A = this chain, B = another copy of it.
Amino acid sequence: MSGFQSNTSIKLLAEKLGLSKGTVSKALKDSHEISAATKAKVLAAAQELNYIPNHFASGLKSRKSRTVAVIVPEIVDSFFSLAIKGIEAVTQEKGYHINVYITNDLRSKEEDIIKVLSDGRVDGVLISVCREATDNCHLKKLADHGIPLVFFDRVADDIEAGKVVTDDFEGGYIAARHLAEQGCKKIYFLSISEGLSILRKRMDGFIRALHENNIEDPTKNVYQIPTDKTKSEEAIKILLSSPHHRPDGIVASVELLTIPIYNACKQQRIAIPDQLKVVCFSNLLYASILSPSLSTITQPAFEIGQQAARLICNSIERDTFIKNERIICPSKLDVRESTSTSVLSN
């Protein structure tokens, strides 16, 4: 198989047509210095022989790959898969390709991935950073190689780049206020990381809402939950079974916490929403058919992906770095059974 190559090169076209490589190349690019007659001949031959310009050869000179890297902590997740779908929709339309990388929220993998992206393989990088907070110097190095960077959702605040996020403070605020309005008195915020800026912002919004509802020292109501499947359920059970701190409302800062919360309640025989109201930052399609259906702060994940893709493509095409452009796509509260004051039949 190795010897078999049906790939027609410019050289081959030139020989068949009795022209030089340069002339054929220019004709294919519709250069003004080639006559219409020659162009027609070249086009016809290219069509017939199914000529496809070699990606490496064109990239070598142009230094463009028409490819962007997409780095995410996870892909089996409504938010991230929707965001990637949004990114892909835009890039496909613009004739770009995407390289997808999954970090599994491991900083070491993120670094490894970034490291190999400086070989010219990608023209830009879209990233949602992993949980562990650090200096982010691996990301700064991208700039040294002239590779534009756009964060989506999980941004690194200390780096100058494009950022596409949702109004996280507002989301946290609205979620907590909603619970308060539904009569909750002991509202807790479940986080999975102190380092992730979007979670801090959601938490800040949460705290603000609690302040406004005259709850003293709301920071005590913030809990860090491990992300490990069994550990997270364990941690939530402990919270739910605490004698006099037992919450009657929970704001879950990430979708991942939904299953452990539901499982913990099931096992502890805590009725949602009667004994505990739950609202979750989530894009879950299935939120509406959970039992009870889940109230969510729904992020515009697809749009975030689209905006991030547009931003990076523009940066690449204009060949200009992004100073600190920030696009904010508002989230919205979808009220469902899990936060209702009486169980709805609907």
A interface residue numbers (CB < 8 A to B): 1-2, 4-7, 52-57, 59-60, 65, 67, 70, 75-78, 81-82, 84-85, 88-89, 92, 97-102, 109, 113, 116, 118-121, 144-146, 258-259, 262-263, 266, 284-286, 288-292, 319-321, 346
Check A85/B92 contact, CB under 8 A, given A56-B60, A119-B52, A291-B292: no
Check A101/B88 contact, CB under 8 A, given A146-B2, A290-B286: yes
Interfacial chain B residues near A77, Cβ < 8 Å = 81
Task: Give Cα A7 to B146, complex, Å.
Answer: 9
Interfacial chain B residues near A52, Cβ < 8 Å = 116, 118-119
Task: Give Cα A145 to B120, complex, Å.
Answer: 24
Give the shortest distance, in Å, between A26 (CB) and chain B (any CB). 20
Interfacial chain B residues near A113, Cβ < 8 Å = 92
* 17 extra A-B contacts, CB within 8 A, seeds A56-B65, A259-B285: A2-B146, A52-B116, A55-B120, A75-B85, A76-B81, A76-B285, A81-B81, A92-B113, A97-B101, A98-B99, A98-B100, A258-B286, A259-B286, A263-B288, A266-B289, A289-B291, A290-B291
Interfacial chain B residues near A99, Cβ < 8 Å = 67, 97-100
Contact assessment for B97 and A258 in the assembled complex, using a CB-CB cutoff below 8 Å: no
Closest B residue by C-beta to A261:
B289
Give the shortest distance, in Å, between A319 (CB) and chain B (any CB). 5
Task: Give Cα A19 to B319, complex, Å.
Answer: 34
Query: What's the dominant secondary structure at chain A's contact region?
Result: mixed
Task: Give Cα A319 to B262, complex, Å.
Answer: 50
Interface centre among A290, A292, A346 (most CB of B within 10 A): A290
Copies of this protein in the assembly total 2
Task: Give Cα A119 to B288, complex, Å.
Answer: 45
Interfacial chain B residues near A320, Cβ < 8 Å = 1
Task: Give Cα A102 to B21, complex, Å.
Answer: 36
Contact assessment for A100 and B84 in the assembled complex, using a CB-CB cutoff below 8 Å: yes
Interfacial chain B residues near A89, Cβ < 8 Å = 102
Task: Give Cα A78 to B259, complex, Å.
Answer: 15
Closest B residue by C-beta to A112:
B92
Interfacial chain B residues near A286, Cβ < 8 Å = 258-259, 284, 286, 290
Task: Give Cα A299 to B92, complex, Å.
Answer: 29
Check A121/B55 contact, CB under 8 A, given A7-B145, A259-B286, A284-B286: yes
Q: Which of B55, B67, B88, B109 contacts A102 (CB 8 A)?
A: B88
Contact assessment for B1 and A319 in the assembled complex, using a CB-CB cutoff below 8 Å: yes
Contact assessment for B1 and A321 in the assembled complex, using a CB-CB cutoff below 8 Å: yes
Closest B residue by C-beta to A267:
B346
Q: Which of B53, B56, B81 contacts A75 (CB 8 A)?
A: B81
Closest B residue by C-beta to A118:
B52
Contact assessment for B259 and A289 in the assembled complex, using a CB-CB cutoff below 8 Å: yes
Give the shortest distance, in Å, between A133 (CB) and chain B (any CB). 23
Interfacial chain B residues near A292, Cβ < 8 Å = 291
Contact assessment for B289 and A56 in the assembled complex, using a CB-CB cutoff below 8 Å: no
Task: Give Cα A65 to B54, complex, Å.
Answer: 12
Interfacial chain B residues near A109, Cβ < 8 Å = 92
